[in-house]
Structure 1
Amino acid sequence: MNAWPHSFIGRRRVAAWLVFALGAAALPCGALAAGPAAFPEKGRSIRIVLGLAAGGASDAQARFVANKLGEVLQTPVIVENRPGASFILATEEVIRAAPDGYTMMYAPSSVVAQNPQTLAQVRYDPFKDLTPISLGARGPLVLTVHASVPARTVQELVAYIKANPGKMSYASFGTGTSSHIYGEAFAKQAGLDVVHVPYKGGADAAKDFLAGRVQYYFDAAPNAIQNTATGKVRMLAVAAPRRSAMLPDVPTMTEQGVSGVDMPSWLGFYGPARMPAPVVAKLNAALAQVLAMPATRDFFRQGAYEAESSSPAQLAELTRATYEQWGDMIRKLGLAKQ
């Protein structure tokens, strides 16, 4: 288990959230048809809601976990795709669901740590409207550059951009997303004059990036690996505190002289607020079993992700810490809600 960040949050705030989110007393005894002890009811499906279209790395991870989770819990577990609006539609779907354990979401850290601070259309409070269940995986974003750009290191990219002020552009998944904030942080730290080109999701961004219409892109590790295999792009750095075990030859941004572009990137499982503690505990234990399986670890590592579980309290703490880290960066960059 990785070390958990304690410097960002007081234990009393974590405890307060957990009392609210996990307290079984918040629901009457009849809130579950057969009671928490009987969860899950035999044959009743559990939904994992995902705010992305089918076919991507996160979708593949969710489906792999769903299959194994169904075996552990002896009940069907299905993935329901609700793409659009930077995961807002999927998150609201989960928030509206009954807090009975049959609906949860697999979501990147941006859903709980960035979206509420960068997107004006977000109406949910990640600390009041969701129940943390377990961490799922960690994986970095990777700075990739189009092959037409004569740069093989971050320093060379910085020099090239400075030699062509205002002529270079970078793609992002959309305004306020991780790839946008990383791009702005990189530009600020390195003193770059560049153009931000936001897209409506990673698929559209990747299409123009591979075509050379934008010159660089902070992309999710699985996509970066896949795109690099085409020969059209190169990986220059991982935007993480440490090198990825799956990409050991790709240095970090800090190693190459650009600090402050190394925020945590992870995915976790959340349910609606007010889930009974016994149900949360059962889902957490089952997820821990699935995420520790060698087959699961091997599958995630193929995309440069590390499968990792946690307790609900640890995920609550990580969520708050990541929220505060991103908040500090957003304020320093002067990014307004869009």
Structure 2
Amino acid sequence: MKLTRRAMMMAAALAAVALPAAAQDYPTQPVTLVIPFAAGGSTDVVGRIIAERMAQELGQQVVVENRAGAGGSLGAGTVARAAPDGYTILMGTVATHALNPLILAQSPYDPVKDFAPVSLLIIVPNVLAVNPELPVKTVQELIDLAKEKPGELAYASSGNGTPLHLSGELFKSMAGVDIEHVPYQGSGPALTDVIGNQVPIIFDNLPSASAHIKSGTLRALGVTTAERAPSFPDVPTIAETLPGYETYTWNALFAPAGTPPEIVAKLNAAALAAVADPKVAERMDEFSAQIVGSSPEELAAHVEAEMAKWKPVVEGANIKAD
């Protein structure tokens, strides 16, 4: 027993010595950035921009891997179970780290215990938009039409329990309208059906909808933030019609719990360099994403605050998922 215990103590000591050396060499191979939503959506757009710039800082390719499903929980769960070596990281959102744990009967991960926070990157406005064939040009006109046709209109979102779903449910509650919710597996397929007029209305992240708004294939009625988006100054806020209405989403990097602090620090430095790059900032400005760039500790506090904020909203809307 003494010999075994001594061997175990020596192994632990050697691991403690070797850890900084491994972290110092990190990364020695490509890093996988898991996007827990379909290609073409807001998180995918932001993730690819950040991944390209982080690769320059890390000296290794950052490979984007889309793992959509269960409102982001499938991809997030994959990262939660990955080896804590810095080679599999997550582009997390308010859905993966605040809403899903509140909504799912059995979440495949704990948003606090199963992840090592890296950095809060950006805060993103959402937008209420419609197919141009829908005969409305303002939020008030949409409300009026919905009241004329209760239960006949429908809105698309990126999935059950996502920030876009909750944006729609909050709108319905505050406007006093009955509009059916049609969930999709990501913003990409939702946008496709709204542009094709299979569904007339969508709540989407502004980044993924912006190009369609500019091209005229979507008509923006209002942004969900308290202030107008600088990239679309002519689009009013929903709050200008429904005072007090406000929702938004965010993107942040997470590693699996247990990732060495030295590796988390390297990832954080690469993320901060990415969002500080003027070219990245210019891309983010195109859809009015507010750049943050935080420490791991600040992101951890942000996650706790977001869970506290969304809990009464989820309970009020009675949103549950298996």
Distance, in Å, in 1 between the alignment partners of 2:276 and 2:35 is 22
Distance of aligned partners of 1:38 and 1:115 in 2 relative to their CA distance in 1, 3 Å threshold: closer
Amino acid at match of 1:336: K
Preserved contact between residue 186 and residue 258 of structure 1 (Cα < 8 Å): no
The TM-score normalised by the length of structure 1 is 0.84
Q: Which residue of 2 aligns with 1:335?
A: 319
Q: Which residue of 2 aligns with 1:19?
A: none
TM-superposed deviation, 1:155:
1.4
Aligned pair count reads 311
Matched, 1:308 2:292: yes
TM-superposed deviation, 1:287:
1.3
Distance, in Å, in 2 between the alignment partners of 1:81 and 1:44 is 19
Q: Which protein has the bigger helix share?
A: 2
Q: Which residue of 1 aligns with 2:219?
A: 234
Trace 1:187-336 onto structure 2 (pairs within 5 A). Answer: 187-260=172-245, 262-336=246-320
Distance, in Å, in 2 between the alignment partners of 1:59 and 1:233 is 20
Distance, in Å, in 2 between the alignment partners of 1:177 and 1:54 is 16
Instruction: Output the aligned Cα RMSD.
Output: 2.3
Q: Which residue of 2 aligns with 1:17?
A: none
TM-superposed deviation, 1:66:
2.2
Give SS of 2:116's match.
Answer: strand
Trace 1:99-178 onto structure 2 (pairs within 5 A). Answer: 99-178=84-163
Give SS of 2:136's match.
Answer: coil
Give SS of 2:236's match.
Answer: coil
Match of 1:98 among 75, 83, 95: 83
Preserved contact between residue 53 and residue 274 of structure 2 (Cα < 8 Å): yes
Give SS of 2:255's match.
Answer: strand
Amino acid at match of 2:44: D
TM-superposed deviation, 1:256:
1.8
Preserved contact between residue 51 and residue 82 of structure 1 (Cα < 8 Å): yes
Matched, 1:72 2:57: yes
Distance, in Å, in 1 between the alignment partners of 2:238 and 2:17 is 49
Distance of aligned partners of 1:28 and 1:207 in 2 relative to their CA distance in 1, 3 Å threshold: farther
TM-superposed deviation, 1:335:
2.0
Deviation digits for residues 266-304 of structure 1 (CA, Å, limit 9, x no counterpart): 100001112222222222122112210101111222333
TM-superposed deviation, 1:113:
0.8
Max radius of gyration: which structure?
2
Distance of aligned partners of 1:105 and 1:258 in 2 relative to their CA distance in 1, 3 Å threshold: same
Distance of aligned partners of 1:172 and 1:58 in 2 relative to their CA distance in 1, 3 Å threshold: closer
TM-superposed deviation, 1:212:
2.2
The TM-score normalised by the length of structure 2 is 0.88
Give SS of 1:207's match.
Answer: helix
Deviation digits for residues 207-227 of structure 1 (CA, Å, limit 9, x no counterpart): 221222322111111232222
TM-superposed deviation, 1:258:
4.4
Distance, in Å, in 2 between the alignment partners of 1:29 and 1:244 is 53
Deviation digits for residues 282-327 of structure 1 (CA, Å, limit 9, x no counterpart): 2212211221010111122233323331011111111111112111
Q: Which residue of 1 aligns with 2:46?
A: 61
Give SS of 2:247's match.
Answer: coil
Amino acid at match of 1:259: G
Give SS of 1:98's match.
Answer: coil
Distance, in Å, in 2 between the alignment partners of 1:277 and 1:241 is 36
TM-superposed deviation, 1:57:
4.2
Deviation digits for residues 46-94 of structure 1 (CA, Å, limit 9, x no counterpart): 2211123444443343233223222222233322222333222211221
Preserved contact between residue 131 and residue 272 of structure 1 (Cα < 8 Å): yes
Q: Which residue of 1 aligns with 2:4?
A: none
Distance of aligned partners of 1:251 and 1:241 in 2 relative to their CA distance in 1, 3 Å threshold: same
Distance, in Å, in 2 between the alignment partners of 1:142 and 1:324 is 23
Query: Which runs of no fewer than 5 residues in structure 1 stay unpaired?
Result: 1-26
Distance, in Å, in 2 between the alignment partners of 1:201 and 1:269 is 19
Preserved contact between residue 38 and residue 188 of structure 2 (Cα < 8 Å): no
Matched-pair identity in %: 36
Distance, in Å, in 1 between the alignment partners of 2:251 and 2:222 is 21
